[in-house]
Amino acid sequence: MFKTDDLTGTTDTTVNATARTDEGFTFDSNNTNNVTSGNIDRNGNLVLKLYYTRNKYEVSYSITGDVLSDYSQLPETKQYKYEQDVTVADDLSVQGYIFNGWDRTGTFKMPTENVNITGSFAVGTSSYTIEHYGQDVNGNYVLLENETEHLTGTTNSHVTGAHKDIENHSYVDLNHTIYSYDPNHSGEVSEGTINPEGTLTLKFYYNRNKYELHIINETNVTGATSGKYFYGTELTLVANERDEDDEAFTKWNDGVTDTRTRNITITDDITIGPYYHIYTVTLVDEDPRTTVATQTEIEKVDPGSSIILPELTIEECVYAKDATHVTPEERECTFIAEFLGWYTDEEFTNKVESPYYPPDDITLYAKWNGVYYHYRVSGVRE
């Protein structure tokens, strides 16, 4: 029941009802329940009935202002009946922007007109990334570990990135520069617009520095050749056991002697290579009878090998007959000097034993009863 009007009129006369014009309602002339006319009986039983539909109005949403004014992902426009409860849609959420809210909040009764609810956006912040790529030891560009920058800026603003300051980042190792910025790399992206989705990625590229490897006696080394190599390149060099002159490996130029295999890592200019040699041992003595120095060069000795040092004797022989006719059995000989051994110095302070392992080319001196002489050949002097 909406409204009832109690009226009076002349008995036995016909009356017609007139539709009302109430706010928010419209007479429904097609409703079969309508009773729009009738005869007034004397008992007052006539009841005329008019039916009205409740009007519907639209609730729509729109964005005002200069930011995202053309935003189309708005809440759906809906119809509500007059005085029906209307709940305002939730606030919008757009990545990179700040929603300022709707001009209506909560719940309201639907009025007798369409309602447009407005909202607005403000520019927010969005993320962007700066990636730094450096060459690996094979020359391929790879993303440098722990060097990616995750930044934020004003949405839709233009940003210019910067390459790394090498001296202040992890591109220096023990004062050796690993990378150098390449301003001409075709893949560089140094600037762009920060989009709301946060997908802007700026890119900078760095060349891995090269250092010079110089190999001494290169024809006797396998595993690498002289040239420039990227910082951090790992190489295994193997020296031949003997060189083209059949001399034996002795050591590397930096003094390492215990292996012909060297593992090196390029971090600076490097000069490296094997040395080959056969040691010459010279035995020197001086005849205490004549003080005449004699010497004989001993056969060359491979490094790491030993020689047997001779035990020397000196005899003074007396012959029973003419020396031109005497046999060895007819002579009488006595020792005139006692051999005391071999020494590495003429002052006889450092004695060596047999078998002897020479450390390099060396001269050994024979000592005789405190009187020494120079002699190079081992053997027995008569």
- Does this model's pTM top 0.75? My answer is no
* pLDDT, position 376: 29
179 close to 230: Cβ distance less than 8 angstroms: no
**Pairwise CA distance, residues 177 & 183, whole Å:** 17
Omega of the bond leading into 355 within 30 degrees of 0 (cis): yes
**How far is the CA of 65 from the CAs of 99, 114, 118, in angstroms?**
12, 21, 10
**Pairwise CA distance, residues 97 & 193, whole Å:** 15
The alpha helices in the chain, defined as continuous H runs, are none
- Residue entry with tokens 């009863």: 369
* pLDDT, position 284: 85
* pLDDT, position 369: 73
* pLDDT, position 297: 62
* pLDDT, position 179: 86
**How far is the CA of 308 from the CAs of 294, 338, 376, 379, in angstroms?**
20, 19, 14, 12
**How far is the CA of 20 from the CAs of 49, 55, 89, 316, in angstroms?**
12, 14, 35, 166
Q: Are strands 158-160 and 313-319 parallel, antiparallel or unpaired?
A: unpaired
pLDDT in tens, the chain (382 residues): 578 888 898 899 999 999 988 899 999 999 999 999 999 998 889 999 999 999 999 999 999 999 999 999 999 999 999 999 999 999 999 999 999 999 999 999 999 999 999 999 999 999 999 999 999 999 999 998 888 999 999 999 999 999 987 654 555 554 567 888 899 999 999 999 999 999 999 999 999 989 999 998 899 999 999 999 999 999 999 999 988 888 888 889 888 877 899 999 998 899 999 988 878 888 887 766 555 556 566 767 777 778 889 888 765 554 444 444 445 554 455 545 678 899 999 889 999 999 988 888 899 988 877 443 333 222 333 3
3-state secondary structure at position 52: strand
* pLDDT, position 86: 97
